Copies of this chain bind each other. A is one copy, B any other.
């Protein structure tokens, strides 16, 4: 029999962190899911997550889970909601502090665990374990809100990218279409991009210039009460 060595006067819930990991494949926004190896919901897909250690904050816990799953250290994560329905886990009461992460897909390597992990495009995501369908819906909603004000989109692109790629990313996240030329003009006049001498060679026709996101310039503008709008 298991040893139950932690005792409390009142019942305590379990606390976990779950992490919705977003990536961009050049066309579609994708999320990284892992297949559950044990009951409940064995064989169903879910977001990576796990119990919160007693000596770590939720943010530290989420970063740890993220690193175990993708090998990435210090990626961009954001807490967006805590899910606390008393029946969200059939075994016992589990409260989960949910984060979303924005990562560059190219830099992700397989996880430590043997667990099967896979990137799913948003419109291919199957029915998930627990309340993770709900968690995904809310993560998307919050990401879309946040991207209106902060340049979080750049976390999803490689360091060098064309404006076309940037546009495709924003279109994928917000599920809208922009006019190619207006998007181009707007980006150039915002002054938060640095144009490089290099061009992208993957184009079938004319080669496009590569850009880098200019953190310094962005911070300066933000200081002056500038607001990034889309």
Contact = CB atoms under 8 A, between A and B. Distances in A.
Interface of chain A, main secondary structure: loop
Given A84-B57, A97-B82, A97-B84, A6 B10 contact: yes
A3 to B, nearest CB: 7
Interface stretch (A47-55, A103-111, A184-192, A212-220): A47-55
Interface string A1-45: 011111111111111000000000000000000000000000000
A86 B54 CA distance: 7
Nearest to A8: B6
In this complex, the member of A5, A7, A10, A84 whose beta carbon has the largest number of chain B beta carbons within 10 angstroms is: A84
Given A82-B97, A86-B55, A97-B84, A7 B6 contact: yes
Contact of A9 (B6, B84, B145, B149): B6
Contact of A7 (B7, B56, B82, B84): B7
A199 B82 CA distance: 44
Contacts of A93: 54
14 contacts: A4-B9, A6-B9, A6-B11, A7-B7, A8-B8, A11-B54, A12-B12, A12-B15, A54-B86, A55-B86, A56-B86, A58-B95, A59-B84, A82-B97
Interface of A: 2-15, 51-52, 54-59, 79, 81-82, 84-86, 93, 95, 97, 145, 149
